[in-house]
Amino acid sequence: MSETHQKRLPIKRWIVLALILLGVYFAFMGPGFLRPISPAVVLPGEPIAQGSPITNTLLATFVADFVLILVAFGAWRFAASGKLVPEGFYNFTEFLIEFLWNAAEGAAGKWARRIFPWTATIFLLVFAANMVKLVPGFESIGRLEQAHGSVKGYAPVHLFGNVYALDKGRPVEHAAEATVEGAESHEEGLCTSCEVIPYLRGSATDLNFTFALAVATVVLIQVFGVWALGAAYFGKFVNTRTMFTVPMFGVIDFGVGILELVSEFAKILSFGFRLFGNIFAGALLISILGALTAVVVPSALYLLEVFVGAIQAYVFSMLALVFISQATISHHGDEHGEGH
């Protein structure tokens, strides 16, 4: 073997191992304020400040919108530069848009150009919202508030300035048992049995976000149905054409129309609860197991959440695409209206 083939030291391997051991130390043996704490499980979004109309889930939605605007601006600048071959992140963006366009073209046909902007926007918004919530700091950095009801609180620990942490080694069942280290809690205006109200929380962990998207999607279905078929679109809901000519089958057709109307409202529930349930469960799983384990398991769950977040965005947008495409087709199988 020549001298140029020197044995490489596994430096990266030792760095990873050192980080794992450091994480185990902080999580189980280090100071209490460094140990992760299981969050309080709350369904509605919480205000980012006392009396504020802005909730942490709404603020997270604004962050996702801002990220999408930056990506769109970057894509526009790249297109304006005249370069023909995308590179780096823009290569991924082109792949994503092309993938969504092919799906829209395959499902909607000549209506694809009209439907694609809506379904692609739904996918990108849900995808961005699901990805930004995985940034460290989401659901863990916020303001301290007195624990309510049966929720177990923790004693606050003053770090520096106006920055405090919670001491996992000092759980407090009753508010009067804890004091801030170095100062009385009531003098500082702090809680004594505390929980963290995060400044940012995943958008899809709030039913307001998922049901707003669901309602908007179902409205789009009706709009495109009327656009393509005109007033005849409502015939599938109130079908009385054969009520008097063929009474028996006419009654059946009328009943099917009522079921179609019920199914339109059921789509709202299906859209809203499917997205909410998967994302909320994932966030809860990461938070709880992150407090019980260290480093390795939460990292694996992060990879799982990236996959689940992408799949849920895809499922939501593809269902919207299929339902909208079906609305543009008449009951007799012929399509009305021309796509341009």
**pLDDT one-digit tens code per residue, 8-40:** 667 888 888 888 888 788 777 878 777 888 777
Band the pLDDT of 244: cuts 50, 70, 90.
Answer: low
Band the pLDDT of 283: cuts 50, 70, 90.
Answer: confident
Band the pLDDT of 56: cuts 50, 70, 90.
Answer: very high
> Strand 153-160's sheet: what is its strand order?
142-146, 194-198, 153-160, 163-172
Ranges 45-49, 147-151, 155-159, 191-195: which has the least confidence: 147-151
pLDDT mean over 141-147? 85
For residues 308 and 278, the answer to whether their CB atoms sit within 8 Å is yes
* Sign, Cα dihedral of 68, 71, 72, 73: positive
pTM over 0.85: no
pLDDT of 235 > 90? The answer is no
pLDDT of 124 > 90? The answer is yes
pLDDT at 10: 78
For residues 144 and 162, the answer to whether their CB atoms sit within 8 Å is no
> Can you tell me the distance from the alpha carbon of 62 to that of 21, in angstroms, rounded to the nearest whole number?
37
For residues 208 and 201, the answer to whether their CB atoms sit within 8 Å is no
pLDDT at 67: 94
> Can you tell me the distance from the alpha carbon of 204 to that of 206, in angstroms, rounded to the nearest whole number?
5
Q: 190: burial class by Cβ within 10 Å (0-12, 13-18, 19+)?
A: buried
201 or 40: which carries more pLDDT confidence?
A: 201
pLDDT mean over 60-74? 93
The overall average pLDDT reported for the chain is 82
pLDDT at 33: 77
Band the pLDDT of 335: cuts 50, 70, 90.
Answer: very low
220 or 92: which carries more pLDDT confidence?
A: 220
pLDDT mean over 159-181? 69
Beta bridge partners of 197: 143
pLDDT of 129 > 90? The answer is yes
125 or 162: which carries more pLDDT confidence?
A: 125
Highest mean pLDDT among 72-86, 160-174, 192-206, 306-320: 306-320
pLDDT at 54: 92
pLDDT at 150: 61
pLDDT at 9: 62
Helices (H), the chain: 11-24, 56-80, 89-108, 112-132, 185-188, 207-229, 247-292, 296-327
pLDDT mean over 129-152? 83
pLDDT mean over 284-308? 83
pLDDT at 189: 65
Band the pLDDT of 316: cuts 50, 70, 90.
Answer: very high
